[in-house]
Structure 1
């Protein structure tokens, strides 16, 4: 039994090695196939071992390994002493101390005797019983330690010698007798021995057995084959151990028994890797058999069959496109032949065992859905589900919340206001999985965990309560198992610009972009040429920002950095330029320009109106005719005081100012001598003698009685001609050379009808001789200083010519 236990040991050799200074050292870690270290560390392999010298890792280029050993070589060992250790998964498997001699300090150490050999065992193969091989752990603490092994089976056999570094010896023996083994370690400082007594059964080792694995409804049966080599006579007395591992798991399980062992804790329809080793009576354990992979059977009747639905789309006419999903046996189990789908007791379709979802078109009314698993036309399992009408409304779960721990996502929520029978949790990480997500159905709890979640992947999780009447509405949340830096902002644009500010906007990072939730944005900007960088952070809901206090006509580089709880990312730089002139300046400039233009236009218009008023054409009196006003056309007693006259000649009546400069034609007439009726009035009004010629009167002393109206006349030449004609006629009829006052006055009256406000008939008053022999008007006229010739308003009847009408 001792020998059997020794063969399973995992250890470092040699122990306490003493070498010459500058020698090469090789240290080996022994890991037998059935070693304890392989059972202690699941999935152990010698390739996983790493080595340290005085706690400093040795370079891997000095490593070597095979299936059962891991080795390290140290060249030119020059330390006085060093501790070499081997490790796996940060655990120390073993170690040894290496010392050097050849120096004064190592002289006494080299003279120490070797240590006692330990862990002595011998192995005798059941297929070759003539030989046995003995093993021990080396006790050499110097390079010159050798070993001598002796074996006794009644008689002492010839000794076996092992050189330094070798720890095995082989003997030819009688296989059915007990033995005594002595191992002596010897060097120049002395020797030491260890003796063990071994029962012959304890040294025997049988070959790996041949096994057969049987699939049972709820277990696996592992059998030792009777015809296995070396086990024919020991099959009934065999003691065996089974090792099995579920596919995809690193957990190794063992079960002990006889030649047949049943494994009950297996999952249906699951692949298992199975191996067996055996011993006969008190012999050593054999090596493990070849591993067998077997698929456990599935009892479909005892397995649950879950059914779920997902509404993909609702149409305006009330119909719904519904995705049906179910969970049944794996197709690899080959436990069923087909699934059958029923809608309201109507067989709708049959599906293959490899199908786990299908879509149907349903009306807006309530429906009963059933999925059934069949084998050989026999129903093995079925599941029911109710889909309520679209008008049916149920409460949803409250306050869904997600946390992460050790790579797992933990979901919790508050129950809805109405008690729910079950909950369905759906989740997916890719938009392509939205229609067929992963899902689980749970009962009696309001929490769920998604184990072994993927890092840096956005999980979309929905929670739906199930009621007696059907499922309630889903509540959605988003989470990461492990967040990373978010995606960078893809586009930065200019929204508005001025001379001192820029308004920039950016495309926000979408929620489905890798690899974290954005908590805020930082906007960075600086002048393109050697400007200091400025920054400002805003909330993740912001989509734009105004950069103020900038310089006009200057280029700026703008970047947007997105932050998550685990990192940040920055956008590509974008360049924008402020305006040379601000909008306020441009608006003021435009307003001033418009004001100036309006003022100029107003000035031009006023000037044109003034010029037009100044350039009004006054009809020339010499082209007008003079006529007497009739009573019908002058119904009013006064023309000046009452301008409401007949409208027929009104367009031909103009008002004009008589200047103090007497018309040249009138002066010429005056030069001929004024008629007595006029000369007297003029002389009286001017306080001058009637004998004085009118042309000699001072212009400022000339007065006209305002009671007279003077109409336009044909001109001085025509007037003079008429006077001359009348004088000639009078000379012929009366006295030669003398003009009658009445005649001379009549000549003027023919050309200048004089009428005053006191004449209601509108006719000119007759010339009446004065007491001194002159003639004057029938009504006396008092001089009026306000009616001077320089400013007298007179109304004249004018015949307007066609060419003057427009003016």
Structure 2
């Protein structure tokens, strides 16, 4: 091996130091273990026991010290046998696991160490004999023992239940948990006899240790769990009888009767104890239970010093009505006197357990307070369970209520109804306030002494709540939330009741404002928000409204207005943008929030389009109206006739004076011609004193003369012909055929034109009455300008 050439020699010299380094520590470790040691190693001891540990230091001389879990141990617990051996003595060791080390006092080096673990014995053993089937009798079915033991998680423990006196112990059962069960009836007869008078020991065994429990001695009757009792219930009107049957035995027995009742989502429970003598069956009478309520009953029993049996099958019973529980609390409300002289009285009383199995009948009878009153038929009235309406007259009455249970009188009470105008005391100064859902009522007592006060309240006139008080104040609970109540306080006397005083519309609680609804009218840069709040009873009065609005990305803005505002404008909005909005109504009692709404602003202001539409419509109407007026004027102008000279004739008439005869030019005469249609001179119109023919005024010198008008463009002249005696403001028709004298002109020339008449109908003329003094006609006829009438303008008339 040492003669290797080449590369092999190099490898040998490299590997040789490694071999030396590995061999030398192994040799030193063996020498160290033999020279330094702590014994015994990794031992298990029973918790609370004593132990000793030896520290050996063959090559190290001097003192040593000990540590337990790195904590110094008192030197008094150790002693040195010689210079190389030191003993540590531990008393009543209770640590579950501890590391013990021995150290050199000079160098403080660890000489050696060990780990001590403790174990415990099984303890608190209890055994029981019991039945699996609760309906079978005979020998018990099972035998079970249980105990307590501190189990080490790293060790597997096997338990064995040993029965009998040591050393003649027999194994009953085995288990790896702290409970062990065996079938009692499957045990051999010799083991059954052992159990009858026996001692039980539990053995715990592992690979490292073995422990036995302390002996557990028992009497089989003390561990026997008997069969559960059989329960029977009987309900009477004033008590409940509970009976049960237990297992037959010649030993004393203890029993418990449990009964319970569910009240407002919780269960009230009571337990009664009863001890039975040998062969005695159980029964208990229970009196203190509420009427017409469901109770659950159960019973369990146990032999003396034995465990309790299972509870019997639970039974539920509805208790019957107990007469001692009946409190009618009768009261009434009286309406105003009606026109027929009748008052409606509502009689009310506390409902007597509607769930009762008993048959209850309520009968009302009203009787006059004074025996000599007559005029009303007082018959019995059968009523419902809690209210009844009866009619009484204006006199005082006594209302009597009788309750019958299965046709037997069960309870009775009466109440007084005062007469109309009866002088009775009445409370004053009634006041009511609301606080946290209750109503506080106070009043001033009358001068007369009273026995109490009856306070009744209602929120709808049908359902009443009434309560009696001995003081001048009362607190009303259990009221409906946010309801207005009418409260009446009536003083009570020994056999009468006074008149009631009322406090109206007292809210049980003033809540938040009513529901808020909004409507939005959107424009381009603004929006009109209309607010409305539903009016609800007992809602808080709104102090202000806050409008919250925002875009999807923008910050939330708000506007606050007072409670009187119903319309509010949101300004500085972005056109063609969607907004979300809601309104919060604030009152002193809270706030109410409306549902969130969304709206989108317009691109243009719709009000501008509306204004332009209205203005355009007005302009179109004006243009159409102007065009229509122009068309009408044009039609009138186009249809306006012009004088046609072809329809007139020329003639000269001599002026007729008082001394002259007729003019050589006689006027043309037509049968239909009227003297009023003749032509008058312009000068006669201008001169107010122009002479008139004498024959027109001969019949009535004082009669009025008529001034005649034709077309607005011409000025009429008075006619010089004889006119009718009566002149009225109408169309003037003169006698045809009469001649008319021509009026003189400035050049004393006669007019060559004569008057023309229309063939169809004479034109209408407007006449006006006026008076003239009689004058003489001028002797000389002067030439005058002659006008023609509109009768000449007829296009179809020819001469």
Provide TM-score, normalisation by structure 1.
Answer: 0.51
Instruction: Give the aligned partner of residue 239 of structure 1.
Output: 254
Instruction: Give the aligned partner of residue 246 of structure 2.
Output: 228
Q: Matched residues in 1 for 2:257 and 2:777: separation?
A: 159
**One of 430, 433, 454 as aligned partner of 1:422:** 454
Q: Matched residues in 2 for 1:295 and 1:148: separation?
A: 52
- 1:796 corresponds to 2:790: no
* Per-residue CA distance 1:748-779 (angstroms, 9 max, x = gap): xxxxxxxxxxxx995569xxxxxxxxxxxxxx
Instruction: Give the aligned partner of residue 643 of structure 1.
Output: 688
Q: Matched residues in 2 for 1:570 and 1:653: separation?
A: 81
Cα pair 1:117 1:193 within 8 Å, conserved: yes
1:252-267 equivalences in 2 (<5 Å) = 252-259=269-276, 261-267=284-290
Cα pair 2:578 2:598 within 8 Å, conserved: no
1:127-138 equivalences in 2 (<5 Å) = 128=139, 132-138=143-149
Three-state SS of the structure 2 residue aligned to 1:347 is coil
Instruction: Give the aligned partner of residue 174 of structure 2.
Output: 162
Instruction: Give the aligned partner of residue 152 of structure 2.
Output: 141
How much has 1:561 moved relative to structure 2? 5.9
Instruction: Give the aligned partner of residue 595 of structure 2.
Output: 570
How much has 1:256 moved relative to structure 2? 2.8
* Per-residue CA distance 1:6-32 (angstroms, 9 max, x = gap): xxxxxxxxxxxxxxxxxxxxxxxxxxx
Q: Matched residues in 2 for 1:289 and 1:173: separation?
A: 29
Cα pair 1:485 1:568 within 8 Å, conserved: no
Q: Matched residues in 2 for 1:518 and 1:120: separation?
A: 75
**One of 398, 401, 404 as aligned partner of 1:371:** 401
Distance 1:606 1:379, change over 3 A: same
- 1:384 corresponds to 2:384: no
RMSD (Å), alpha carbons:
6.3
Q: Matched residues in 2 for 1:361 and 1:505: separation?
A: 53
How much has 1:111 moved relative to structure 2? 9.5
Distance 1:413 1:381, change over 3 A: same
* Per-residue CA distance 1:41-77 (angstroms, 9 max, x = gap): xxxxxxxxxxxxxxxxxxxxxxxxxxxxxxxxxxxxx
Query: Which has more helix, going by share of residues?
Result: 1
Instruction: Give the aligned partner of residue 450 of structure 1.
Output: 478
**One of 119, 122, 134 as aligned partner of 1:117:** 122
Instruction: Give the aligned partner of residue 350 of structure 1.
Output: 382
How much has 1:144 moved relative to structure 2? 1.3
Three-state SS of the structure 2 residue aligned to 1:415 is strand
Distance 1:804 1:620, change over 3 A: closer
Instruction: Give the aligned partner of residue 203 of structure 2.
Output: 184
1:466-615 equivalences in 2 (<5 Å) = 466-467=490-491, 468-469=497-498, 472-473=501-502, 475-476=504-505, 508=533, 511=536, 544-547=566-569, 568=593, 570=595, 579-581=606-608
Three-state SS of the structure 2 residue aligned to 1:290 is coil
How much has 1:802 moved relative to structure 2? 6.7
Q: Matched residues in 1 for 2:126 and 2:581: separation?
A: 75
Q: Matched residues in 2 for 1:130 and 1:611: separation?
A: 137
Cα pair 1:136 1:168 within 8 Å, conserved: no
- 1:710 corresponds to 2:747: yes
Aligned length: 545
Distance 1:256 1:441, change over 3 A: same
Cα pair 1:397 1:413 within 8 Å, conserved: no
Specify which structure has the bigger relative contact order, considering alpha-carbon pairs within 8 angstroms and separated by 6 or more residues: 1
How much has 1:711 moved relative to structure 2? 4.0
- 1:333 corresponds to 2:356: yes
Distance 1:313 1:652, change over 3 A: closer
Q: Matched residues in 2 for 1:609 and 1:624: separation?
A: 34
Q: Matched residues in 2 for 1:475 and 1:388: separation?
A: 22
How much has 1:145 moved relative to structure 2? 1.7
* Per-residue CA distance 1:380-405 (angstroms, 9 max, x = gap): 222334566899998796444252xx
How much has 1:373 moved relative to structure 2? 0.4
* Per-residue CA distance 1:483-513 (angstroms, 9 max, x = gap): 9999785xx778x999997766677557499
How much has 1:164 moved relative to structure 2? 1.6
Three-state SS of the structure 2 residue aligned to 1:195 is coil
Cα pair 1:397 1:463 within 8 Å, conserved: no
How much has 1:157 moved relative to structure 2? 3.0
Q: Matched residues in 2 for 1:265 and 1:484: separation?
A: 46
Consecutive unaligned residues of structure 2, counting only runs of 5 or more, are 1-112, 132-137, 185-190, 277-282, 369-377, 447-451, 492-496, 661-682, 697-705, 711-744, 754-775, 795-799
How much has 1:571 moved relative to structure 2? 6.8
How much has 1:341 moved relative to structure 2? 1.7
Distance 1:161 1:375, change over 3 A: closer
Q: Matched residues in 1 for 2:581 and 2:540: separation?
A: 20
Q: Matched residues in 2 for 1:612 and 1:300: separation?
A: 115
- 1:401 corresponds to 2:434: yes
Instruction: Give the aligned partner of residue 229 of structure 2.
Output: 209
Three-state SS of the structure 2 residue aligned to 1:803 is helix
How much has 1:340 moved relative to structure 2? 0.5
How much has 1:149 moved relative to structure 2? 2.7
Q: Matched residues in 2 for 1:476 and 1:488: separation?
A: 24
Three-state SS of the structure 2 residue aligned to 1:208 is coil
How much has 1:303 moved relative to structure 2? 1.7
**One of 394, 399, 413 as aligned partner of 2:440:** 413
Instruction: Give the aligned partner of residue 465 of structure 1.
Output: 489
How much has 1:304 moved relative to structure 2? 0.3
